[in-house]
């Protein structure tokens, strides 16, 4: 199986007066695992439902495998959907749930009838083929011992596997998945994440996966389309989006502990200033303006406070407010002294923490330092700004006090 391409062009959709999708363009490659991720209400499910044919767009086109499918009903689009709610028949056994898509696909109306169908030529042979495929799919998903049970007798994880089996059994080239793991507990989600990723590799089909969970998006996808307010604000590999966010909202959404954002400004000469300190960064040809300075918690370090260690360019005297213990590491939240900015989150390996903090760390003074090369700058509209790194000249060199 090679998977089918999905091409979305200028897709718009509104409900009443509210625009939900704003001229979305997206090309998904055959066999790709593409995740639509974004905050609640950004339009992910609506986009998925339009691809499936369950919802109709106001404008724009959807093509599957190079063919425009806008006028095709969901059944004719040759794709499979997996929902958060499993969508299983509660009165049927797992075997019957898995059988039903194939029975509908392969047996004629008469062959499906209980008495007349039994006399129909070829039915026995078709049934045997279906049975073999059910056993093979169930084995692949590790639910072969559950075939006689009904959905009510299964755990959440087992139900989701049956739902996946129902989707897989017709061997579609495109899977659309809407938050399939969100009803599972944290441990099972981690396990199912890796199972889904390996299922994708085995099947070779195209997966379009909707989630608001950025960890799911980062761990499973070939590419992520990050949606905010009905638009795709960034499309790229998980690493590209994490390492090189083009938009402040993308930087803030991706990252297990949110990125630190501090208010900065650019002076008439293009120098970037943070909390009244001039940094060694310069933005070309820019007028005076407000910007956002963002840095991820792992790109901030804290050191025990010593008068000689603070006062450098990016060494900010701060106080520890609280520490979040994550087991192998900790997130230390610091309040920058004499500045009304949000707490700065610092990721610290557990083994290093003891060298920095003593006893009840709350209130302890530390020096917070940003790794300058890892800083992102964004303009007032949230668009990424490029900067050059230049050593800051002394007041004498500049020719006037700074
Ligand atoms: N049938 C509908 N009628 C009216 N408004 C709708 C309808 N379906 C969705 N919406 C609205 O459209 C917006 C986008 O909904 P959508 O379900 O696509 O978001 P989402 O990103 O999938 O959110 P979530 O992660 O919460 O599921 C929301 O504001 C929602 O309330």
Pull the structure tokens for residue 319: 């106080």
CB neighbour burial string for 51-69, b if at least 16 within 10 angstroms, e if fewer = bbbebebeebebbbbeeeb
Interface pTM (ipTM) of the complex?
0.96
**Residue 193: left if φ>0, alpha if ψ -120 to 50, beta else—which one?**
alpha
For residue 183, the CA-to-ligand 1 centroid distance in Å is 19
| CB neighbourhood size of 245 (10 A) | 26
Average pLDDT over residues 30-42: 95
pLDDT at 161: 87
Domains of the chain in start order, with CATH, are 6-248 (3.40.50.300), 260-398 (2.40.50.140)
DSSP string over 39-57: STTSSHHHHHHHHHTSS--
Q: How far is the CA of 207 from the centre of ligand 1 (A)?
A: 21
Q: pLDDT tens digits for 181-212?
A: 887 788 888 888 888 898 899 889 999 999 99
Q: What is the pLDDT of residue 51?
A: 97
Q: What is the pLDDT of residue 399?
A: 39
Q: Which residues contact 206 (CB under 8 A, 6 or more apart)?
A: 3, 4, 5, 6, 28, 29, 30, 31, 32, 33, 34, 173, 174, 175
pLDDT for res 303: 86
Lowest model confidence (mean pLDDT) among 159-173, 246-260, 282-296 = 282-296
Low-confidence winner among 36-50, 100-114, 318-332 (lowest mean pLDDT): 100-114
**How far is C-alpha 349 from the geometric centre of its chain's CA atoms?**
25
Could you write out the DSSP letters of every residue in 297-360? GGGEEEEE--GGGSSSSSEEEEEEEEEEE-SSEEEEEEEETT---PPEEEEEEHHHHHHH--SS
Q: Is 137 in the pocket of ligand 1 (CB under 6 A)?
A: no
Classify strands 329-336 and 315-325 as parallel, antiparallel or unpaired. Answer: antiparallel
20 pocket-lining for ligand 1 (C-beta < 6 Å): yes
pLDDT at 7 over 90: yes
Mean pLDDT, the chain, whole residue set = 85
How many other C-beta atoms are found inside a 10 Å radius of the C-beta of residue 139? 11
State residue 282's pLDDT score: 83
Nearest Cα residue to atom 26 of ligand 1: 40
Measured from the CA of 16, which atom of ligand 1 is nearest? 4
Helices (H), 169-254: 186-203, 214-220, 238-243, 248-253
Q: Say what the pLDDT of residue 314 is.
A: 67
The whole-number pLDDT of residue 121 equals 62
For residue 392, the model assigns a pLDDT of 54
Residue 400 pLDDT: 40
The CA distance from 247 to 89, in Å, is 43
Atom 13 of ligand 1, nearest CA residue: 41
Q: What is the pLDDT of residue 304?
A: 82
By CB atoms closer than 10 A (0-12, 13-18, 19+), residue 125 is exposed
Q: How far apart are the first and last CA of the chain?
A: 65
Nearest-atom index, ligand 1, CA of 38: 21
Residue nearest to atom 10 of ligand 1 (CA): 15
Helix pair 186-203, 156-168: axis angle to 10 deg: 20
Higher pLDDT, residue 299 or 86: 299
pLDDT band at 296 (very low <50, low <70, confident <90, very high): very high
Structural contact between residues 142 and 199, judged by C-beta atoms closer than 8 angstroms? no
**What tokens does 321 get?**
């407010």
Residue 92 backbone class (left: φ over 0; alpha: ψ -120 to 50; beta: rest) = beta
For the Cβ of 15 lying below 6 angstroms from any atom of ligand 1, the answer is yes
Map residue 123 onto helix, strand or coil: helix
pTM of this structure = 0.85
- What per-residue confidence (pLDDT) applies to 391? 62
User: Tokens at residue 214, please?
Assistant: 């950025």
Three-state DSSP class for residue 82: strand
Return phi, psi of residue 368, to 5°: -95, 130
Task: Copy the structure tokens of residue 53.
Answer: 């044919």
How much helix, strand and coil, in percent to the nearest 5, is found in the chain? 30, 30, 35
Q: Probe ligand 1: pick from 22, 43, 49, 58, max atoms within 8 Å of CB?
A: 43
């Amino acid at each position: 199986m090679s998977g089918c391409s999905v091409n979305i062009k200028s897709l718009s959709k509104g409900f009443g007066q509210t625009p939900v999708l704003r001229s979305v363009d997206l090309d998904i490659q055959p066999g790709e695992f593409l995740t639509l991720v974004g905050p609640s209400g950004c339009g992910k499910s609506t986009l998925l439902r339009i691809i499936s044919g369950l919802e109709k767009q106001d404008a724009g086109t959807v093509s599957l495998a190079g063919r425009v499918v806008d006028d095709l009903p969901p059944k004719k689009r040759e794709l499979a959907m997996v929902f958060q709610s499993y969508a299983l028949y509660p009165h049927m056994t797992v075997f019957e749930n898995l059988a039903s898509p194939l029975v509908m696909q392969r047996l004629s109306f008469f062959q499906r009838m209980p008495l007349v169908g039994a006399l129909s030529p070829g039915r026995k042979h078709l049934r045997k083929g279906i049975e073999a495929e059910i056993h093979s799919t169930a084995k692949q998903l590790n639910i072969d011992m559950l075939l006689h049970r009904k959905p009510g007798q299964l755990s959440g994880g087992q139900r989701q596997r049956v739902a996946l089996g129902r989707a897989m059994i017709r061997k579609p080239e495109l899977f659309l998945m809407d938050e399939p793991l969100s009803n599972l507990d944290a441990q099972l989600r981690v396990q199912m994440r890796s199972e889904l990723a390996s299922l994708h590799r085995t099947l070779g089909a195209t997966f379009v996966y909707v989630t608001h969970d950025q960890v799911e998006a980062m761990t499973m996808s070939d590419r992520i389309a990050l949606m905010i307010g009905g638009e795709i604000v960034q499309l790229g590999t998980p690493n590209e989006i994490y390492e090189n966010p083009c938009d402040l909202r993308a930087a803030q959404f991706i990252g297990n502990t949110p990125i630190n954002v501090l208010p900065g400004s650019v002076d008439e000469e293009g120098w970037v200033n943070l909390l009244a300190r001039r940094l060694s960064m310069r933005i070309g040809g820019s007028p005076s303006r407000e910007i956002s300075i963002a840095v991820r918690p792992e790109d901030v370090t804290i050191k025990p406070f010593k008068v000689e260690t603070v006062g450098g360019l990016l060494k900010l005297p701060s106080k520890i407010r609280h520490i979040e213990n994550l087991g192998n590491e900790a997130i230390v939240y610091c309040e920058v002294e004499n500045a009304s900015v949000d707490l700065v989150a610092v990721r610290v390996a557990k083994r290093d923490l003891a060298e920095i903090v003593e006893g009840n760390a709350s209130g302890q003074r530390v020096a917070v330092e940003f790794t300058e090369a890892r800083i992102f700058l964004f303009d007032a509209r949230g668009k990424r700004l490029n900067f050059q790194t230049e050593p800051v000249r002394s007041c004498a060199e500049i020719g006037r006090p700074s």
